[in-house]
Amino acid sequence: MRGRATGWAIGVVLALACTLVAPEASAQESAQSAQRLRVAIHSYENNLTPFTLTLTTFPVTADMVMLVYDSLFYSQASEDPEPWLAESASVSDDARTWTVTLREGVTWHDGRPLTAEDVAFSFDYYQQQAGSSGRYAHHVFDVPALDRSEVVDQRTIRFHFKDPAPQFDIMPGADLPIIPKHAWQGVTEPSKATSELPVGSGPYKLVEMVSDQRYRLVANEAYFKGRPTVDEIEMPVVKDPAAAFAALRTGEVGFVTRNVPSELVGQFGGSSGVAVAAATKFESTQLNFNARKSPWNSAAVRKAISLGTDTQALVDTVLLGRGRPGRDGFLHPDSPWAMPNGRHELDRAEAERLLDEAGYADRDADGVRRAADGSRLELSVLVSSFEPQDLRAVQLMSQQLEPLGVRVAPEALDPVSLRQRRQAPPGQVPGFDAYMSTLETHAHVDPDGLYYFFHSPGPKGFGGVITGWGNPRFDQLTEQAAVSGKDERKPMLHEAQEILAEEAPAIVFWYRSGEWAYRPDAYSGWVPDPGQGILGKRSFLPEYVRARSVATGAGEGSAGEAPGDAGGGGVGPALAIGAVVVLGLVGATVARRRRVEPDDE
Amino acid sequence: MAGHVARTVAQYLLVLFAAISLNFALPRLAPGDAVDYLLPPEQAGSLTPEQRTQVLSQFGLDEPLATQFGDYLSGLARGDLLFSVRYGRPVTELLAERVGWSALLVGGAVLLSTVIGAVLGFRSAWRRGTSRDAGTLTGVMLVDSLPPFFVGMVLILVFSVQLDLFPIFGALPTVDTSGPALVGEVIRRSVLPLVTLTLAYIGPVYLVARSALVSELQEDYVLMAEAKGLSDRQVRRHAERNALLPLSTVTLIGLGALVGGAAVVETVFSYPGLGRLIYEAVLARDYAVLQGAFLLLAIGVIVANFVNDLLYPLLDPRVRRPRAATA
């Protein structure tokens, strides 16, 4: 209850934040370049090396790591990534050997040349540091597994793989940050190397970090893609969302890394001096079953629950329409690997039939189905207490499933407790029923994403990691796909998605739309990068900024249509009047009571 | 006097030792393995039994408890606390960074709220039962009932967004500044959080001050003072001096809670204080930071109370020398 009250109060404050501001007649100038840009970020992750990022950190710092570092190709969200540090690459006929030629004249931030030695070292180092490199390294030793790297000459490197690796250019090629050998070769515990400023090759140099307060990045003027458009980016850490958007209003910052809350989108645009750009990351918010625990190990029961869940209603009610309804095949509809014509099947009659067939019936007319042994069909869903929207979605789902005779109850936990509840000692089945999670872009664009997230628990313990679900045909398809080229891979992955849709180890609730608020007078060169959002390196590189800037491009659409504050202008004064009236009443009552008693002064 | 000081010092050293021991014992008494506290949960969950033993011996946790306690004490003496999992840095460093900001914010707010609360409380008590008293009481209670984050947001809206007088976030300026300009900017940035926190603290101080003076005013010596014809101002001064005593005690005992309780305000204003560090350490299960912060707070509270004990005789002649009071 307390949480809800706080939520309301925050809502009121956010609304106030936007109505109290007098609409300024801002000169609608927009800046394609800037000397200094201030970006309000909401988390601090030490010195922004690839090793300070774990699988559980905030995606925003992953964006920032890629401002400092470069990968061989870019971006992971494209099925045909652009050569980046690489100038060209060729693959052998058996797809087991990749030869990569590096760009000429690329230097590290400290001026030393970036050579094939560094690239080879990076791959070897990630492999050695398997334990502590979290987010990135597993791509070097899982799928496709690198056998060894070979330095041919200063600019040429050859990668040898154990199995065919036809999509090396995407993963890990377009994902793995290349690190300098001279800075890392002596480091044995990279996750503890958090106090030195990182040396990268990317468009920005991190020059200052103050713990939990700010980062300061300056442009790498020698960048091989041209001098970045903003000379200096300051990134103060602003924890409170209302404060961050208020700071955007006043011009104290020019961009906020949080998604604009749905209720605020309408307030921006017009004459507010703040515009909104659409740039969607491929994120899915989903319910994951514990597919190893009865009755959730039954595909029929899981599918019935999926059939009874109206994902469009979840988007409309919880996200206020700012997202796309979840699809049964898991992958984001814009992912290059998503099956065509994917959708979410909503069929309550079919759901009833499946549950009847599985032996669940309302045996004592209390509105809840029971198994033959009398156990009630109740689904307890673990939800992070930091994600109020997930909580609301599960509550709504609970209403949707009530007529089916299925009870759904959310259980809110802090994120760490939630992770602990998901774990069980080796060989045992954890006790939870289901949990909510959000999988970021990487899960949706990795050509082996389906393998990683839904393959049966393998010898390494990876795969099947989110649900424990397994299906032999699915495993076979994803294993085959992993060694196949793009054109053969797609049909396999499509079939694998059909299996996911049929067996429903997870129910995707929605794919959120990315909407980011910025001040065009501070900087307007933002380039929406599909799947990557907007705070990427392309937003600061002249060739991309010129080619597609949101100020003139399609991104402005969502901003342009947003109504100004015309309708909300009266709320501030009304509230003030209300407060005065309340105070007046209190005062009057007190005064009257006092007057009855004799004044003792 | 010297005997009194020595006795007080001994008492406080005992309390300090108890606090240190408790700080050592608490994580070891908690359910679960020490490994769960030392490693991030994702890592701790996937360790084999052999790896667990290895981690334990790495941190010296396979030694007998007495040896561990000895190591812990000698570590403390060297100022050597544990290593933060979340920040990958020694806890001592983190605490040192934060403690100054907390001292500025909480210290300033305690000082301001004590002065303002006492002035208002004494005024109310002197005029107890009048409409002015009721008005002040209602006003203070109204402010006290507003959640601090809400007060903070309203202040931001009025003073930062509307009037553009103060920056919204942070303790340090974002642009390079140095020298006097830096000091000015730091002060400017502390104004809104300081006011918010002060408003949040005034309520209890006001109530204590008011009730203390009300009960003093019923004492015989006040009647005596009035009877011998002292002016109102003189009577008030006598009574107020005595009413100050509970105030100092209440403030200093609550100091630890005040530092931790500032977390909400520190979050709204993105202020890098200890409260926020503790709050985030709880969320991240960064036990090393928690242990260090609690120790620091415990020491802070003990020292504050020690100082209070030494100052008390100056405020209250009755406890100065027991003999004097009876003689």
Query: Residue type for A390, please?
Result: D
What confidence score (pLDDT) does residue A476 get? Answer: 92
pLDDT band at A579 (very low <50, low <70, confident <90, very high): low
- How close A368 comes to chain B (CA, Å)? 36
> Residue A139 corresponds to which tokens in the numbers above?
């791509």
Residue A266 has pLDDT above 90, yes or no: no
DSSP track, A554-589: TTHHHHHHS--SGGGTTHHHHHHHHHHHHHHHHHHH
- How close B242 comes to chain A (CA, Å)? 22
CA A411 to chain centre: 23
Do the Cβ atoms of A587 and B138 come within 8 Å?
Answer: yes
B186 touches chain A (CB under 8 A): no
Backbone angles phi, psi at A387, to 5 degrees: -120, 80
B165 touches chain A (CB under 8 A): no
Q: What is the spatial distance between Cα A138 and Cα A227, in angstroms, rounded to a whole number?
A: 33
Give yes or no for a contact between A39 and A257, defined as CB atoms under 8 angstroms apart: yes
Any residues with CB less than 8 A from the CB of A440 and at least 6 apart, and which? A59, A62, A281, A282, A283
Report the residue from B131, B157, B174 with minimal CB separation from A246: B157
Any residues with CB less than 8 A from the CB of A11 and at least 6 apart, and which? A263
> Rounded to a whole number, what is the distance in angstroms from the first to the last CA of chain B?
17
Topology (CATH) of A2-46+202-277+528-590: D-Maltodextrin-Binding Protein; domain 2 (3.40.190)
What confidence score (pLDDT) does residue B326 get? Answer: 46
Backbone angles phi, psi at A210, to 5 degrees: -115, 115
What confidence score (pLDDT) does residue A393 get? Answer: 96
* Nearest-by-CA chain A residue for B281: A416
Give yes or no for a contact between A358 and A304, defined as CB atoms under 8 angstroms apart: yes
What confidence score (pLDDT) does residue A14 get? Answer: 55
CA-closest candidate to residue A505, choices A379, A363, A279, A330: A330
**Residue B326 three-state SS:** helix
Q: What is the spatial distance between Cα A31 and Cα A550, in angstroms, rounded to a whole number?
A: 11
Any residues with CB less than 8 A from the CB of A388 and at least 6 apart, and which? A3, A7
Spell out which residues of chain B touch residue A194, defining contact as CB-CB under 8 Å: 87-89
Report the residue from A194, A246, A590 with minimal CB separation from B88: A194
- Residue of B89, B166, B169 best to disrupt the A interface, most CBs of A under 10 A: B169
By mean pLDDT, which of A19-28, A341-350, B228-237, B307-316 is the weakest?
A19-28
Domain ranges (residues) in chain A:
2-46+202-277+528-590, 70-184, 284-512
What confidence score (pLDDT) does residue A334 get? Answer: 93
Backbone angles phi, psi at A52, to 5 degrees: -85, -10
- Residue of A56, A211, A257, A589 best to disrupt the B interface, most CBs of B under 10 A: A211
Report the residue from B88, B89, B174 with minimal CB separation from A236: B174
How much is the average pLDDT of A308-331?
Answer: 94
Helices (H) then strands (E): counts for chain B: 17, 0
**Residue A176 three-state SS:** coil
Do the Cβ atoms of B150 and A9 come within 8 Å?
Answer: yes
**Residue A234 three-state SS:** strand
Spell out which residues of chain A touch residue B284, defining contact as CB-CB under 8 Å: 416
CB contact residues (below 8 A), chain A span 317-376, against chain B: none
Task: Tell me the pLDDT of chain B (327 aa) as tens digits.
Answer: 677 778 888 888 898 888 888 888 877 776 556 666 666 555 555 566 666 677 677 666 777 778 888 888 888 887 776 777 677 778 888 899 899 998 899 989 988 999 999 999 999 998 888 899 999 999 999 999 999 889 999 999 899 888 888 888 888 876 677 778 888 888 888 999 999 999 988 998 999 999 999 998 888 988 888 899 888 888 888 888 888 888 887 877 777 778 877 888 998 898 888 988 888 887 777 778 888 888 888 888 888 888 888 877 777 777 766 554 443
CB contact residues (below 8 A), chain A span 112-141, against chain B: 131
What confidence score (pLDDT) does residue A600 get? Answer: 35
- Residue of B131, B155, B279 best to disrupt the A interface, most CBs of A under 10 A: B131
Do the Cβ atoms of B169 and A600 come within 8 Å?
Answer: no
What confidence score (pLDDT) does residue B323 get? Answer: 53
- How close A243 comes to chain B (CA, Å)? 7
Backbone angles phi, psi at B15, to 5 degrees: -60, -40
CA-closest candidate to residue A507, choices A415, A390, A424, A407: A390
Do the Cβ atoms of A252 and B168 come within 8 Å?
Answer: yes
B51 touches chain A (CB under 8 A): no
**Residue B33 three-state SS:** coil
> pLDDT tens, A487-537?
999 999 999 999 999 999 999 999 998 889 999 999 999 998 888 889 999
CA-closest candidate to residue A490, choices A171, A81, A167: A167
What confidence score (pLDDT) does residue A594 get? Answer: 45
Percent helix, strand, coil in chain A, to 5, is: 35, 20, 45
pTM for this predicted structure: 0.81
How much is the average pLDDT of A536-561?
Answer: 66
Residues in chain A: 601
- How close A567 comes to chain B (CA, Å)? 19
B60: left (phi over 0), alpha (psi -120 to 50) or beta: left
Spell out which residues of chain A touch residue B272, defining contact as CB-CB under 8 Å: 210-213
- How close B13 comes to chain A (CA, Å)? 34
- How close B2 comes to chain A (CA, Å)? 45
Residue A119 has pLDDT above 70, yes or no: yes
- How close B165 comes to chain A (CA, Å)? 11
A247 touches chain B (CB under 8 A): yes
Do the Cβ atoms of B270 and A599 come within 8 Å?
Answer: no
Q: What is the spatial distance between Cα A173 and Cα A83, in angstroms, rounded to a whole number?
A: 9
The CA distances from residue A27 to A31, A245, B55, in Å, are 12, 20, 61
Which among A109-123, A141-155, A266-280 has the top mean pLDDT? Answer: A109-123
Give yes or no for a contact between A106 and A113, defined as CB atoms under 8 angstroms apart: yes
pLDDT band at A229 (very low <50, low <70, confident <90, very high): very high
Burial class (CB in 10 A: 0-12, 13-18, 19+), A383: buried
What confidence score (pLDDT) does residue A26 get? Answer: 42
Average of per-residue pLDDT values in chain A: 83
Say whether domain A70-184 belongs to CATH 3.90.76.10.
Answer: yes
pLDDT band at A22 (very low <50, low <70, confident <90, very high): very low
The answer to whether A2-46+202-277+528-590 and A284-512 have equal CATH topology is: no
- How close A420 comes to chain B (CA, Å)? 7
Query: Residue type for B137, please?
Result: L
Residue A192 has pLDDT above 90, yes or no: no
Burial class (CB in 10 A: 0-12, 13-18, 19+), A407: middle
A93 touches chain B (CB under 8 A): no
What confidence score (pLDDT) does residue A138 get? Answer: 75
Q: What is the spatial distance between Cα A368 and Cα A547, in angstroms, rounded to a whole number?
A: 58
By mean pLDDT, which of A41-55, A197-211, B222-236 is the weakest?
A41-55
CB contact residues (below 8 A), chain A span 22-41, against chain B: 22, 36, 38, 40
Q: What is the spatial distance between Cα B271 and Cα A558, in angstroms, rounded to a whole number?
A: 34
Report the residue from A213, A238, A593 with minimal CB separation from B171: A213
Burial class (CB in 10 A: 0-12, 13-18, 19+), A297: middle
Report the residue from A36, A191, A587 with minimal CB separation from B135: A587
Q: Is the ipTM of this complex over 0.90?
A: no
What confidence score (pLDDT) does residue A134 get? Answer: 61
Give yes or no for a contact between B280 and B243, defined as CB atoms under 8 angstroms apart: no
Any residues with CB less than 8 A from the CB of B291 and at least 6 apart, and which? B23, B26, B27, B81, B82, B91
Q: How many contacts, defined by CB atoms under 8 Å, are there between A and B?
A: 148
B270 touches chain A (CB under 8 A): yes
A187 touches chain B (CB under 8 A): no
CB contact residues (below 8 A), chain B span 106-145, against chain A: 127, 129-131, 134-135, 138, 142
What confidence score (pLDDT) does residue B312 get? Answer: 78
- Residue of A46, A57, A231, A252 best to disrupt the B interface, most CBs of B under 10 A: A252
Any residues with CB less than 8 A from the CB of A73 and at least 6 apart, and which? A81, A82, A83, A84, A86, A89, A169, A170, A173, A174
Q: May I ask the CATH architecture of the domain A284-512? A: Roll (3.10)
**Residue B230 three-state SS:** coil
Do the Cβ atoms of B156 and A194 come within 8 Å?
Answer: no
What confidence score (pLDDT) does residue A553 get? Answer: 46
B166 touches chain A (CB under 8 A): no
Strand partners, A80: none
Backbone angles phi, psi at A318, to 5 degrees: -85, -45
- How close B1 comes to chain A (CA, Å)? 44
A420 touches chain B (CB under 8 A): yes
